[in-house]
């Protein structure tokens, strides 16, 4: 019964919980590029096999598994990708997208595009959200 009450309260308060958790999430504007198709089938930094049709990206510092929304600032199209690689060492780019992700935001022809990158779910975001939750105190006997 306690678990059911906790889940109900978590659902009830989830909007405010996750908005609190997103206050400290990564957000940056800059130039994006995309991977060449020649990398198809190679291992990424986290051990995944790179696939040109996957919605993934490389980022210099965000933890592997982080989900980010990448918005093309020219046309406002966006795509959600998972960080699974490192890259762009020494280059002034904020993210390197898979060809499928680049296609979603219509940046294939330009090659480089000004974008906004917003972290929407970090691997530990749920833990951070639960830390902010005071509802479990309501479940005490």
Per-residue pLDDT tens digits for 44-95:
888 888 888 999 999 999 999 999 999 999 999 999 999 999 977 667 899 9
113 or 14: which leads in pLDDT: 113
Residues in a beta bridge with 78: 71
Number of domains in the chain: 2
Indicate if 10 and 39 belong to the same structural domain: no
Domain span at 93: 26-121
Indicate if 128 and 59 belong to the same structural domain: no
DSSP output for 37-104: GGGTT-B-TTSPBP-TTS-EEE-SSSPTT-EEEEEETTT--EEEEEEEE---TTS--SEEE-HHHHHH
Q: How many CA atoms lie within 13 A of 53 on its CB side?
A: 0
82-133 tens-digit pLDDT = 999 997 766 789 999 999 999 999 999 999 999 999 999 766 665 555 555 5
| pTM score | 0.69
Indicate if 38 and 82 belong to the same structural domain: yes
Residues in a beta bridge with 32: 95, 113
Indicate if 69 and 129 belong to the same structural domain: no
Classified as helix, coil or strand, 6 is: helix
Indicate if 1 and 16 belong to the same structural domain: yes
């Amino acid at each position: 019964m306690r678990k059911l009450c906790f889940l109900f309260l978590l659902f009830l308060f989830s909007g405010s919980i996750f908005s609190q958790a997103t206050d400290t999430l990564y957000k940056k504007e800059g130039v994006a590029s995309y991977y060449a198709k020649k990398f198809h089938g190679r291992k990424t930094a986290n051990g995944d096999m790179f696939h040109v049709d996957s919605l993934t990206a490389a980022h210099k510092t965000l933890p592997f598994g982080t989900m980010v929304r990448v918005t093309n600032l020219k046309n406002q199209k966006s795509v959600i990708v998972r960080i699974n690689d490192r890259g762009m060492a020494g280059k002034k780019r904020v993210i390197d997208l898979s060809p499928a992700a680049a296609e979603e935001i219509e940046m294939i022809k330009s090659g480089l595009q000004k974008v906004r990158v917003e972290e929407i779910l970090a691997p530990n975001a749920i833990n951070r959200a639960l830390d902010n939750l005071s509802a479990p105190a309501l479940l005490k006997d």
